[in-house]
Amino acid sequence: MMIAIFTILAIYGFAQGKKELTDDLLKDKEEVLAKFIPMANGDYLYKLYIMPSAEVIEKLEAFKKVMDLKTEQETNPAVKTLMRKDIDFYARQVLNRYVGLYGMDSIGMKNLEKILTEKKGAPDFNKLLDSAQKKAFVKRMAPEERKQLKIRIDEKADLSDEALFRRSASYRAWLDDQITNLRNTKYKADTTLGYEGNNVVKLKVIERELPSGYVKDYLTYKGTGTIIKMVRNAAAKEDAYRNFMTGVTNPVYKKDIEEVYANYKRMISKSPSPDFNYSNVDGKMVSLKELRGKYIYIDVWATWCAPCKAEIPFLTKVEEDYHGKNIHFVSLSVDGIKDKNKWISYVKEHQLQGIQVMADKDFSSDFIKKFNINSIPRFILIDPKGNIVDADAKRPSDPQLRKQLDTLL
């Protein structure tokens, strides 16, 4: 569970013309919530996770009453109903986060992140990690208390409320949790693909448990994209693609999935890599094409990604050991443009080696999308002619990477 907290998954974006989903029913929920729940700059404070559950519930009910009063200004009855549902699901998600992270300690979490980023690969790493995980939580919630809170969070609601789904991020998050719970309980043994099989089973839950309609079609579309992008099993990818193309009629969804599938096919066929032309820390543009003539090992990362930063010491050592050989090492940041200065400072402060560049539109950048990247870290290996050797290469911390490089070089 704790490792998952530090595994940063980026939301993959499909080109859809107008934006389908919004979160525009009540725009000041967070501002009002901060008057009841410990928060600072939009983030929950650790103080929240050690509060008694009765106090948290009391504060959330008070928050809901204030928000309900705001809905009285809405004259459209249908919209007013959606607003009240949005408030309810927003409060449920706050409570869900409280239950999931109950007892979390700030010092313990900093130590855990330090272990993950600085001790990975050490002989006693697993022992250190286990100890750090236990110390990251200073309190434990009683099973019966947790059960009662989960009943509040999971209280039955419409699993296919199209109007609310389109306009409430809180309802969408709640629905995703319900699907995940079914995957982990009713469909728990329904996979042979290990961890990656969770995405396959989740799509199966959507197909079997949700009623026909917009919500099911949209989630099927997103789930299919996730499988083609993230699951390594070729048969699972082909099954997901085939089922989607025969079962979904939305032409926009079909076009996007066709593009994702085409990207996947291009990557496994060792075709020429897409090019990029991105800025380095000094403002100079660097293109992938101009690096041809040598192998190119690309690390796709971000300053906010703990697993990415955990790989940096290993990457630095690989760079040192293969210095002067027929290979370039490129670190490609997908930090948002608004965080460009943060990225530059991080690179300079930590004296990162290799070629450091930043994508122009984070995960929406053309190069990133053509490699179907929606989670990081991700590593890519390209040959001297610009052809893809491995679109999902081994990590620097994996000894197999050196074996592969030794064979190629």
Position 120 scores a pLDDT of 72
This prediction has a pTM of 0.82
Rounded distance between C-alpha atoms, residue 201 and residue 204, angstroms: 5
Number of residues that make up the chain? 409
Local structure of residue 279 (DSSP, 8 states): E
Rounded distance between C-alpha atoms, residue 352 and residue 113, angstroms: 20
pLDDT tens, 323-364?
999 999 999 999 999 999 999 999 999 999 999 999 999 999
- What structural domains and CATH numbers belong to the chain? 2-103+139-185 (no CATH), 195-268 (no CATH), 277-408 (3.40.30.10)
Q: In this model, does residue 10 exceed pLDDT 50?
A: no
Close Cβ partners of 38 (under 8 Å, ≥ 6 residues apart)? 44, 45, 47, 48, 51
pLDDT tens, 222-261?
999 999 998 889 999 999 999 999 988 899 999 999 999 9
Q: In this model, does residue 148 exceed pLDDT 50?
A: yes
Position 2 scores a pLDDT of 36
Position 352 scores a pLDDT of 94
8, 305 Cβ separation under 8 angstroms: yes
pLDDT tens, 266-313?
999 889 999 999 999 999 999 999 999 999 999 999 999 988 998 999
Rounded distance between C-alpha atoms, residue 156 and residue 153, angstroms: 9
